[in-house]
Amino acid sequence: MATSSAPGKVFLLGEHAVVYGEPALLAAIERRARVTVEERSDGGLRVDSEDLTLDGFTIEYGEDAATDPNVDVPQNLLEAATGYVDEAVAQARDAADAPNAGFEVTIESEIPLGAGIGSSAAVVAAAIDAATRELGVELDREEIADRAYRVEHAVQDGQASRADTFTSTMGGVVRVEGDGGHSIPAPELPLVIGYDGGAGDTGKLVADVRSLRERYGFAADTVETIGDVVDEGERALDDGDVETLGELMNADHGLLSALGVSSRSLDAMVWAARDAGAMGAKLTGAGGGGCIVALDESDESQTALEYTPGCEEAFRAELAEEGVRRK
């Protein structure tokens, strides 16, 4: 039996534009997905998740199992969850040259699925690490990150970037651009998260931005401008200037809104945090619902979010210095 965990993440700057090779800045946060894997001899796969969705699910499938499992969760969440686990298992089998290996997989997650804070990336990175170790193979972080990206690329129909999986694997604050990424030094970041209880459809939102970018020059220019904002943000981090980073986060939210990926609940939380004195606040992730991230050293933004209609949860997030962790 092997157990690994990996952290969630927030986009400080750059979501959606990163899909087109623009840079992005992300921070790993100490909300983790923990995956325990035990090999089984029959080649089957059983996935038990108490926490991956609000209701949780247990499902068994393989050559002799039902192909259409009957579980009480929304179909899109079921397909996403099982798709990510299937592909992670396939990567582990490939890495260990064990194509017929079966597994019992148990997932415990503090990260809501589809909320924009990296639930799938954390589950995938932790699952690949745990499953390969259960098969007697030790992967370095670079290979875990690469294989985790391949999983998201497959499940998201080729529209994923390396951002989430790289951050979840490496931890800390990272810059991701194109096929590469690296860790960057950063000052202490007073991160506050607001969550509306919903989940955006990442694939649809990415496709909608792609369509807008292909139809209108302003949308293509907006994507490039987001990349420019990221470069300014990295300079602010290098200078330890959290206030300027906050201003840039505000600008980034406006650009993302122009691309059509915000929502009424996300905007309400963003403005609640800003009105409470946050240095900056923006949506994080694909958008359409889910989470916002704010910078505030005081408790005012968290308190304001707790009283904002449509905000289901607000919490302070610590930076996760360590990415994939064993046990």
- Catalytic site residue 164? yes
Element (H, E) at 147: helix 141-155
Write out the two tokens for 296. 């505030």
DSSP 15: T
Write out the two tokens for 244. 């300027």
Residue 128 near residue 37, CB atoms below 8 Å:
no
Residue 95 near residue 147, CB atoms below 8 Å:
yes
Write out the two tokens for 85. 């686990």
Element (H, E) at 26: strand 24-40
**Cα(198)–Cα(157) distance, rounded to whole angstroms?**
22
**Cα(28)–Cα(171) distance, rounded to whole angstroms?**
5
DSSP 43: S
b/e per residue 273-308 (b: at least 16 CB within 10 A): bbebebbbbbbbbbbbbbbbbbbbeeebbbebbeeb
**Cα(313)–Cα(311) distance, rounded to whole angstroms?**
6
Sheet containing 291-295: which strands, arranged edge to edge?
Answer: 280-283, 291-295, 191-195, 313-317
Catalytic option among 129, 146, 164, 196? 164
Q: Which residues are catalytic?
A: 164
